[in-house]
Amino acid sequence: MAEKVGIIIQARMASTRLPKKIMINLADKPVLWHVVERCKKTRVDKVIIATSTNNENDKIEEFCIENGYDFFRGSEEDVLNRYFEAAKKFELDIVIRITSDCPLIDPETINNSLEEFKQKNIDYLGNLSKRSFPRGLDVEVFSFSALEKANALAKEKPYREHVTAFIYSHPELFNIGEIIVDGKLNRPDLRLCIDTHEDLTLLKSIYDVFYKSGKIVPIEGVIDFLDKNPELARINLNSEKEHLERNEKQNVRQTFMKSSTDELTPRKSILIKTKSGHREIGPGKPVFIVAEMSGNHNQSFEKAIELIDAAAKSGVDAIKIQTYTPDTLTIDCDNEYFQVKVNESWKGKKLYDLYKEAYTPWDWQPRLKEYAESKGIIFFSTPFDETAVDFLEEMNVPLYKVASFEIGHLQLLKKIGKTKKPVILSRGLASVEEIELAIKTLKESGSEQIAVLQCVSSYPAKPEQMNLLTIKDIGERFGVISGLSDHSLGNLVSLISIGVGASIIEKHFTISRKEKGPDSEFSLEPKELEELVKLIREGEKAIGKPSYETDKKESENLIFKRSIFAVKDIKKGEKISLESIKVIRPGYGIAPKYFEEIIGKNAKNDIKRGTPIKWEFIENGQI
């Protein structure tokens, strides 16, 4: 199905420098009319005017109805959400952002930018940071998924006031491209938008010369005209200078805005689209807990359903399976190379027979996904070859896992990367170089949201093998979300991992270890899984954040803290002496550090023995 492309024109009546500028006439038609009609000459499916619900913008709605234009009205302050809701309403896959004060916006430039965006297969394309067009020809192209992600993640008010600021400020979350223009259009010295009276004078002069019965004003011809009439091009030089000065201040603001947001909303994060909205994974967010079913269904669909019920009841975020067949992993061969010699549950079996016993039949998987989602948990899988990725894409899984033994399977990583979905890698036996190559391969193929889990490839793993500090190092070394794929027995290792930065914890589980499934020996039973979830959630609360404040509960113990009290009756006007006050418990009086400052000062009023000393009891006392 072809992607639906739409131009959304950002419009409002208010303007500090030139009020109601978009309704001022150029050649007998409002500025906004020219912008819309030029946009309609492009190769897009929809042109939409987006404005706010502010009463003064009723005029824009009337204008749209009168001219048969599509429009949308949304939040006045939350411009980002207004754009998102407009794109969502008109079911756009690709959005082109244009402002309403650019009556010379160039249809060909829009078409070229759209084509470049599609060819580069990126999230965002723009020319705002390295402007090469004349001002007034600016174009931004971005995917609906990028807009949706920005709308979900952006928390700070400055990001909500602008449509794309969060996107181009977070290159680690979005694949960003820059429009570079050569030739005649490479004229950043020209200003062809309308924001001041000088701009309006210039644009009226251009339209007087070029506008003929509704025909598009050719932008190359405009540039030639201005080159031949330099005095005209200089009319709005002051307007451009003022704009650059404002922009310089804005850049300072953006720097502050970005640094403050880094503290509140970690830049390294993963956003998963779910049935009920989005789930963000990363530092400062609830740990993403994954229950790994693996082959513990023992080839029973009913058992797989029972496992999903148990996972949902435990409170985990997601359940994961594995998508392969014996033939996509190995060959049916009896020689010594294919004999399993590790793990008591696997020892003595052929690889082919082990995978035949452990694999999850593919015809189950769409039904299992539907059932898991009906229970309110995320369902995803580990594919082991390219055909499995194709199959899972048909199921529309929201993310992928790469098994530790597959981290060097670059063809598989490239296939997964092309889905552009979040990916969780298990480290296992991989070296630093192999992890770097895996991350690089995924990113170059299209997946920007990546997590790497510390994982010890022993089944079961012993606590002394775990090296949990690797979790913190993974995040710092590779710039990704980090976590733990825990093959150890019990819950201790998983619980400790959240203290060293684990944002994801994956744990195998089974209905009963007595059933002897392929992975049952190192799997949790339902009550143990439920206990793990409870411990992690309590542990998150305990970890909290750096704080030296006294909370309400602590304040109840103020009786055990020292402060300054009267230990004998003190008369009004009497000097406070060493004999009349003392630092004792409880802590309801002035802090002990002021003891010497109080000595020798006069009492403002009578103070009875056993009264906590307050500043208001002392003449010339501080507050």
213: pLDDT strictly greater than 90: no
Q: With a cut of 90, say whether residue 44 has pLDDT above it.
A: yes
Identify the CATH assignment for 554-617 out of 3.90.1210.10, 3.40.50.300, 3.40.50.280, 3.40.30.10.
3.90.1210.10
Higher pLDDT: 340 or 399? It is 399
Element (H, E) at 356: helix 351-358
CB contact set of 215 (below 8 Å; sequence gap of 6+): none
More confident site: 504 or 193? 504
Residue 339, pLDDT > 50, answer yes
**Residue 215 reports pLDDT greater than 70:** no
Query: How many CB atoms within 10 Å of residue 515?
Result: 13
Cα R_g (the chain), whole angstroms? 33
- Cα three-residue angle 489-512-339, rounded to 5 degrees: 70
Q: Which residues are within 8 A (CB) of 428 and not within 5 positions of it... i.e. 6 or more apart? A: 403, 404, 405, 407, 455, 456, 457
Q: Are 582 and 564 in contact (CB under 8 A)?
A: yes
pLDDT category of residue 231 using cuts at 50, 70 and 90: confident
Residue 493 contacts by C-beta under 8 Å, 6 or more apart in sequence?
463, 466, 468, 484, 486
pLDDT in tens, 243-276: 545 454 444 334 333 433 333 333 357 888 887 7
Residue 457's pLDDT band, with cuts at 50, 70 and 90, is: confident
pLDDT in the model for residue 397: 96
pLDDT band of residue 223 (cuts 50, 70, 90) is: confident
Quote the pLDDT of residue 255: 39
In the chain, how long is the greatest CA-to-CA distance?
103
**Which amino acid makes up residue 66?**
E
Given this model, what pLDDT does residue 275 score?
A: 78
- The whole-number average pLDDT for the span 460-467 is 88
Computed over every residue of the chain, the mean pLDDT equals 87
The residue assigned the tokens 């500025």 is 31
Do 597 and 581 meet the contact criterion of CB atoms below 8 Å apart? no
Percentage of residues of the chain with pLDDT beyond 70 = 90
Comparison of pLDDT for 144 and 550, the residue scoring more: 144
Instruction: Give CA–CA dist 145/175, Å, rounded.
Output: 12
Q: What is the pLDDT of residue 325?
A: 93
| C-alpha span between 76 and 54 (Å, rounded) | 6
Q: Of 189 and 1, which is predicted with more confidence?
A: 189
> Residue 42's pLDDT is what?
94
Q: 17 pLDDT exceeds 90?
A: no
State the average pLDDT over residues 329-356: 82
Please report, for residues 314, 344, 467, 558, the alpha-carbon distance to residue 508 in angstroms, rounded to integers and kept in the order given. Answer: 13, 17, 19, 47
568 backbone φψ class: left, alpha, beta (φ>0; ψ -120 to 50): beta
Q: What pLDDT was estimated at residue 337?
A: 86
Per-residue pLDDT tens over the stretch 530-577: 999 999 999 998 887 776 666 666 666 767 889 999 999 999 999 999
Res 620 pLDDT > 80: no
Instruction: Cite the residue boundaries of each domain of the chain with CATH code 3.90.1210.10.
Output: 554-617
Enter the pTM of the model.
0.58
507-535 tens-digit pLDDT: 999 999 888 777 778 899 999 999 999 99
Range name among 267-281, 306-320, 443-457, 608-622 with the lowest pLDDT average: 267-281
Give the model's pLDDT for residue 346.
67
Question: Whose CA is closest to 542, among 608, 534, 139, 259?
Answer: 534
Chain centroid, CA 169 distance in Å = 12
pLDDT at 36 over 70: yes
The average pLDDT across 293-320 equals 94
> Where does the chain hold its CATH 3.90.550.10 domain(s)?
5-264
Ranges of CATH 3.20.20.70 domains, the chain:
270-324+359-543
Q: Which residues have CB under 8 Å from 430's CB, separation 6+?
A: 404, 407, 408, 438
Segment 362-371 mean pLDDT: 97
Per-residue pLDDT at 257: 39
No. of helices (H) and no. of strands (E), the chain = 23, 21
Please tell me the predicted confidence (pLDDT) of residue 259: 38
Q: 3.20.20.70, 3.40.50.12780, 3.90.1530.30, 3.40.50.880: which CATH number matches 270-324+359-543?
A: 3.20.20.70
Q: Are 385 and 324 in contact (CB under 8 A)?
A: yes
CATH of 5-264, one of 3.40.190.10, 3.90.550.10, 1.10.645.10, 3.40.50.12780: 3.90.550.10
